Amino acid sequence: MKTFKNIALTLLSSTLFFACSSDDDNNTTQAKANANVTFDARVGSADFALDTPYTINGTSYQFDGLRYWVGNVEFVNANNETVAFEDSYFLMEETKAVAVQEGDFTYPAKKRETFGLNNLPVGNYTKIRFTVGVDAVYNDNLSLQAGELSQLNGMTNISWMWHTSYIFSSLKGKNTASNQAITVETGLNANYRTVEITLATPFEVKANQVNTLGLNVDVAKIVDGIDLAATPTVSASTPTVMSAVANNFRDKVFSVKSVE
Amino acid sequence: MKNNQFNKIQCGFLGLLTFAFISCSGDDDYQEPKPLVEVPDNFPSFIDSQTNPLSKDGIALGKKLFYDKTLSGNNNVSCASCHLPELAFSDGVALSNVGVSGNQLHRNAPALINLAWATNGLFWDGGSTNLESQAFAPLSHPDEMFQNLNQLIQELEAKTEYITLFQKAFGQPVSQTGIVKALAQFQRTLVSGNSKYDKFVRNEADGILNEAELDGLALAEQFCFSCHQTPLLTDNQYHNNGLDDDFSNTAFEGMLQGRYRVTNDINDLGKFKTPTLRNIEKTAPYMHDGRFSTLEEVIDHYRFGVKNSPSLASQLNQNNTLGIPLSQTEKNNLIAFLKTLTDEEFLNNPRFK
């Protein structure tokens, strides 16, 4: 993001300090456009909604919330050139109200499935990369903040603060039949994952139009291969299962829905 | 690419500014600025935070916040409620209950000494990565300060001097990150290195140890310094010192299992961070849960009380003998030495109060 904010200043400055600059800067004349990326939460082929029973691996579950950090978004074009939105962090979520600081205050119920990016150079993109979680630089130091990172949205709760880390992803709900609560969380640097999705139909970004890349987020795949009866709470104390959930986010959860 | 260019340009400006300053400043009225932190000669060089470097205004703000009860949900608890300067920023009780809930904590409030060098994790299990991140835990925990971090901004802004102090320290309005950065800066200045032992090490005039203290030092070199490494008198590592031999109780989110809680490595069961021996005379009670009231009890633990388990520190299980063999005289001499680690200048330093 920073890169793009600095363009105007850089342009101005490069005139004044031409002699100091050794980098070619021919990209600054390239046209830019705005783009939206939408994360459509689903369970298999059904739309994801809270308090709605879904059968996953033969068991019925319903959910109170799905939340996860998407960061460090990159687009790759056909020439293998990468446009990086460094330090961009977006909290994607569909959640009931969240008690923050053990109920000291409340984060309101929210549904958010889209983020916008400004100044994406026009062109045809064949890959999108993003991370699920927070890079170690920020994850290890809660006083550094980028994008939407904050202590105030319930993605760092008390037990996690005793162990410095954001919660990278959180899926909460219950087994509809048994009422067993389930909490599937990832966090800690070891579970930071980069997702790469190849766009069979290139994402054609044009000026003067709304460019939207739609991704599916299959909630069933988050817990693919996880025995929630045996491990209803996936947390730092179940490191192997947590790592498996993080791998699911990397490998299975996201797919292309639409390219507009 | 563009960032590089931008940085170069900033450098250009800086170079210019430096030049301008040099050309108009005379040498005659130059005074060496008082250092922000005084580091003893026998210490490693000061490790400043790259993302939160010390500044005079940051330290001053951190000190004010450290003693301000506004930082708690009921406005009755400050950092200093459990970290008293005259006790080397410990609190003198085994497990405090002065937090907002009144519930007893599960761990002893650690002394705050030489934290600039504590770069291998904070808390008894090392779960916190740096002082900035650490501060959020006591600030927000119901059994500690239970401060709504949103509300705290409004409460501090209502005291208008804080608006100015945050501007001076960080060039920004009151913020959660500014609060923890300022607290971290203040804590990094809490350097203790002027005990009688330090003066002895530096060959200073009043650094004279008597016979008992010298004998105690020799015993410490033999039995203690492998973990309580000089000059900080901690190795910043985690060890099982034989307090317990059963770590199956997972209560309180694994709080009783030591470093295992952080690493999930069974080799870390029962391991806790080596506390510094500096000012140990003032930081009773001892151990992560404050189970020992006196230095006598601590040393008797090492003499007679060490319990064996797979993660026990090897130094405490030599030749199939548990613990450290010390006679009564040796114990007394070791305690005499430990008391030479008291740093009255640190305990009474007006810069810290």
The confidence band for B31, taking pLDDT boundaries of 50, 70 and 90, is low
Chosen for mutation from A7, A163, A191 (greatest number of chain B CBs closer than 10 Å) is: A163
Residue B33 belongs to a domain: no
Q: What is the pLDDT of residue A146?
A: 93
Q: What is the pLDDT of residue A156?
A: 84
Per-residue pLDDT reduced to its tens digit, A228-246 = 999 999 998 899 999 999 9
* B307/B242 Cα distance (integer angstroms): 5
Number of domains in chain B: 2
Q: Which residues of B touch A134 (CB under 8 A)?
A: none
B100-111 b/e with 16+ CB inside 10 Å = b?
A: beeeebebbbbb
Same domain, B212 and B185: no
Q: What percent of chain B has pLDDT over 90?
A: 86
User: Domain span at residue B252?
Assistant: 196-347
ipTM of the complex: 0.83
* B233/B228 Cα distance (integer angstroms): 4
Which of A25, A142, A159 lies closest to B5 in CB terms? Answer: A25
Residue A12 pLDDT more than 50? no
Q: Which residues of A touch B2 (CB under 8 A)?
A: 3, 6-7, 10, 23, 25, 28
Residue B347 pLDDT more than 60? yes
Per-residue pLDDT reduced to its tens digit, A61-94 = 999 999 999 999 999 999 999 999 988 999 999 9
A105-123 b/e with 16+ CB inside 10 Å = b?
A: eebeeeeebebebebbbbb
Residue A158 in contact with partner chain B when CB distance is under 8 A:
yes
Mean pLDDT over residues A6-29, rounded?
Answer: 40
Which of A13, A141, A162 lies closest to B51 in CB terms? Answer: A141
Per-residue pLDDT reduced to its tens digit, B176-196 = 999 999 999 999 999 999 999
Same domain, B182 and B78: yes
Same domain, B182 and B206: no
Min Cα–Cα distance to chain A from B128, Å = 5
Residue B325 belongs to a domain: yes
Same domain, B73 and B180: yes
Residue B34 pLDDT more than 80? no
Which of A187, A156, A235 lies closest to B140 in space, CA to CA?
A: A156
Q: What is the pLDDT of residue B324?
A: 97
Residue B247 pLDDT more than 60? yes
* B286/B299 Cα distance (integer angstroms): 11
Same domain, B123 and B97: yes
Chosen for mutation from B136, B187, B272 (greatest number of chain A CBs closer than 10 Å) is: B136
The mean of the pLDDT values for chain B is 91
Residue B99 belongs to a domain: yes
Among candidate residues B164, B191, B218, the one where a domain is terminated = B191
Q: What is the pLDDT of residue B180?
A: 97
Q: What is the pLDDT of residue A5?
A: 38
Q: CB–CB of B128 and A159 under 8 A? A: no
Residue B64 pLDDT more than 50? yes
Same domain, B187 and B205: no
Give me the phi and psi of A254, to 5 degrees please: -100, 140
Which of A245, A256, A252, A253 lies closest to A168 in space, CA to CA?
A: A245
Same domain, B180 and B214: no
* B122/B111 Cα distance (integer angstroms): 11
Mean pLDDT over residues B245-255, rounded?
Answer: 89
Q: What percent of chain A has pLDDT over 70?
A: 87
CB atoms within 10 A of CB A213: 22
The H or E element containing residue A73 is strand A59-77
Same domain, B336 and B217: yes
Among candidate residues B124, B156, B191, the one where a domain is terminated = B191
Residue A6 pLDDT more than 50? no
Same domain, B237 and B340: yes
Q: What is the pLDDT of residue A99?
A: 86
Q: What is the pLDDT of residue A20?
A: 37
Among candidate residues B191, B213, B238, the one where a domain is terminated = B191
Q: What residue of B is the nearest CA neighbor of A15? A: B9
The confidence band for A116, taking pLDDT boundaries of 50, 70 and 90, is very high
Same domain, B220 and B149: no
Same domain, B217 and B171: no
Min Cα–Cα distance to chain A from B242, Å = 24
CATH code for the domain of B113: 1.10.760.10
Per-residue pLDDT reduced to its tens digit, B311-324 = 999 999 999 999 99
Q: What percent of chain B has pLDDT over 70?
A: 91
Residue B307 belongs to a domain: yes
Same domain, B145 and B262: no
Residue A3 pLDDT more than 70? no
The confidence band for A19, taking pLDDT boundaries of 50, 70 and 90, is very low
Residue B17 pLDDT more than 70? no
The confidence band for B47, taking pLDDT boundaries of 50, 70 and 90, is confident
Per-residue pLDDT reduced to its tens digit, A201-224 = 999 999 989 899 999 999 999 999
Per-residue pLDDT reduced to its tens digit, A120-169 = 999 999 999 999 999 999 999 999 989 999 988 888 866 666 789 999 99
The confidence band for A29, taking pLDDT boundaries of 50, 70 and 90, is low
Q: What is the pLDDT of residue A112?
A: 97
The mean of the pLDDT values for chain A is 88
Which of A143, A145, A159 lies closest to B52 in CB terms? Answer: A143
Contact B340, B196 (CB under 8 A): yes
Q: What is the pLDDT of residue B21?
A: 40
Q: What residue of A is the nearest CA neighbor of B2? A: A3
Mean pLDDT over residues B7-22, rounded?
Answer: 35
The one-character DSSP state at B290 is -
Residue A106 in contact with partner chain B when CB distance is under 8 A:
no
Q: Which residues of B touch A104 (CB under 8 A)?
A: 73, 140, 142, 146-148
Q: What is the pLDDT of residue A7?
A: 37
